[in-house]
Chains A and B, each alone.
Chain A
């Protein structure tokens, strides 16, 4: 790796994030469970399979329309487990608290965690707190681990996408990242966009009940839809084709993207999933998704093909095509 120091771009979820994991962390930590780089590790235990994941939450501001750091920490962890087809069993949460953080804020975060956990039907079973000096933690950081049991008969991996698979997304893209941006009050922008932060395990349960054969599921968090599709195309050595007209971007999100020059395909989502479903099951899975409150706007956006392997082709609104690469760095607002 060329960089001598950590850059913000290493945390953006795009190519640099991928590089730092594959070129720096993996050489030290490598093992077959970790190297699959799926949302959770799947560990065989006796006759079952344990799903195990970890995450950290450093979001600013702590509270934003649609959620807060507490809700995010539960939903993010639950979703990582759900994406490998696991029923969440328990979550651990360790809190790094900045000296001076008000109790009232901490209470609000904990209340939110409690509500999110109830919504996801999961318990926080272990925890830890540490306090650091003023200035060292921006208020509050949360690190979680989550364990779950992978549903029987289910085998969901980024490397299982197969030509013929239909690609379904559960709703609109870009809401979380733009919601946070607006909540920060930067760039003199005001709007009503809310983060889509939500636990997807119930939706996933319904989908898997209908079709245990689902090949891939991912939630497009940092790096966005474009990056996730690219990762899957590469992990599975297949081509991916998606249709721009089918991908939903709300008017407000598009407005911010137009104003700041952002590409919506690279914006983070915290309450959406992308599923690669065998063709014969696609319509049924789609219908089942639409019965869930978090899947009402589900739509088929594309398919997996044998050609143009490892590439993601986006069919544009005028019938042309463009190639979606992974996010290469942080998206800075631009004027040109």
Chain B
């Protein structure tokens, strides 16, 4: 085993925490972009162990959190048709729309089902040809190639009752918008491990080249995250600002070129609305022209309507790292996991849910 690439004797959490403490000579604010990192951090209890000087804030990499209310409402409207089966990943089921959620709509009798792979949607479409199957596709670059592959498969097999709501978003443009706004005070990024498996290291280079900030592509185990934080601190200590890969065992510099190719064959980038962040150019993806017959937004005549966020809800500021969950007036009182107001509380990886469940 090549210990040089591995944790080696530093693989012990206690040792890693000690090294972090030694380097944390001032206050550092790092953003974990990815919601799965937020959950890992809380579940492993890392926050309770990090020195006070290290502050971790959660970023917008929670697809459920950044999906605008209007998109939930639109999906609910589409599911209202008698012959429609709406398929979604479980993550979206409890996100509140303006009046209802997918979970509540299912309780009222709508045909809404949870799937765990985009290919499941094709199987349902083939098994139930009399129904129109709409797949509510959310996710970032980790998930989009899989959705693209399913769309290609649908086209190849001539599955004509399969439609896609493409609510997918891209991470680097959102990060660029965040940094360009000048509002965000961050010293470095814990970059998403699995998005990076697909896109590699290059798309993040603007973080160091344009903004002189550091970023470390990090895995999801507790020791991965600790090592990622340590690597960020080392960069500061050594006066570097680079994009490094901690999650070497899964992330290659070039990402997964085939996955990217398939994604680009099927989808093209467009401006997209992010809850809390507003419109960000080239940050969402939709089906290309030649696949428009599968685009639910085109086929089902339900226009997207911009809907306001619930009053008092601070999800927007929390997603950008300005505020932390306890600063929201609704946190823990009006807004709790079993009765959430905003998506940050619904999503298992939303900052508020994680804070409520694991922190404090």
Contact = CB atoms under 8 A, between A and B. Distances in A.
Interface in A315-336: 315-323, 325, 328-330, 332-336
A336 B62 contact: yes
A327 to B, nearest CB: 9
A5 B139 contact: no
Contact of A316 (B45, B108, B223, B226): B45
Interface residues of B, number: 45
A336 B117 contact: no
Nearest to A189: B116
A332 B91 contact: yes
B337 A320 contact: no
A102 interface: no
Contacts of B62: 336
Contacts of B143: 335
B44 A316 contact: yes
Interface in B317-360: 336-339, 347-349, 356-360
A15 interface: yes
Given A6-B107, A325-B357, A334-B89, A320 B45 contact: yes
B104 interface: yes
A105 to B, nearest CB: 25
A187 B114 CA distance: 10
B302 to A, nearest CB: 24
A16 B338 contact: yes
A329 B338 contact: yes
Contact of B44 (A187, A318, A325): A318
A188 interface: yes
Interface size grouping (class) on chain A: 35 or more
A319 B14 contact: yes
B338 A335 contact: no
Nearest to B62: A336
Given A335-B139, A335-B143, A336-B36, A318 B338 contact: no
Contact of B64 (A2, A330, A336): A336
B47 interface: yes
B208 interface: no
B253 interface: no
Interface string B104-140: 1001100000101100100000000000000000010
A260 interface: yes
A126 B358 CA distance: 46
A325 B337 contact: yes
B260 interface: no
A8 interface: yes
B337 A318 contact: no
Contact of B91 (A5, A320, A322, A334): A334
Contacts of A76: none
Contact of A19 (B13, B104, B107, B338): B338
Interface string A94-130: 0000000000000000000000000000000000000
Contacts of B108: 5
A309 B75 CA distance: 43
A106 to B, nearest CB: 30
In the complex, which of the residues A9, A14, A16 has the most CB atoms of chain B within 10 Å of its own CB atom? A9
Interface in A147-178: none
A261 interface: yes
A34 interface: no
Contacts of B338: 9, 14-16, 19, 328-329
Contacts of B97: none
Interface in B218-242: 222-223, 226
B46 A320 contact: yes
A7 B107 contact: yes
Given A332-B114, A335-B91, A318 B43 contact: no
A318 B222 contact: yes
B48 interface: yes
A319 B46 CA distance: 9
Contacts of A321: 45, 48
Given A14-B338, A329-B337, A319 B139 contact: no
A165 B294 CA distance: 61
Given A188-B117, A314-B45, 11 more contacts: A7-B103, A16-B338, A260-B116, A261-B348, A315-B45, A316-B44, A317-B222, A318-B226, A319-B14, A320-B45, A328-B337
- A-B pairs, 9 with minimum CB distance: A320-B45, A332-B90, A316-B45, A328-B337, A318-B13, A328-B338, A322-B358, A320-B48, A320-B49
19 contacts: A6-B107, A8-B103, A9-B103, A14-B338, A314-B45, A318-B226, A319-B49, A320-B49, A321-B45, A322-B42, A322-B45, A322-B358, A322-B359, A323-B358, A328-B336, A332-B91, A332-B93, A333-B89, A333-B90
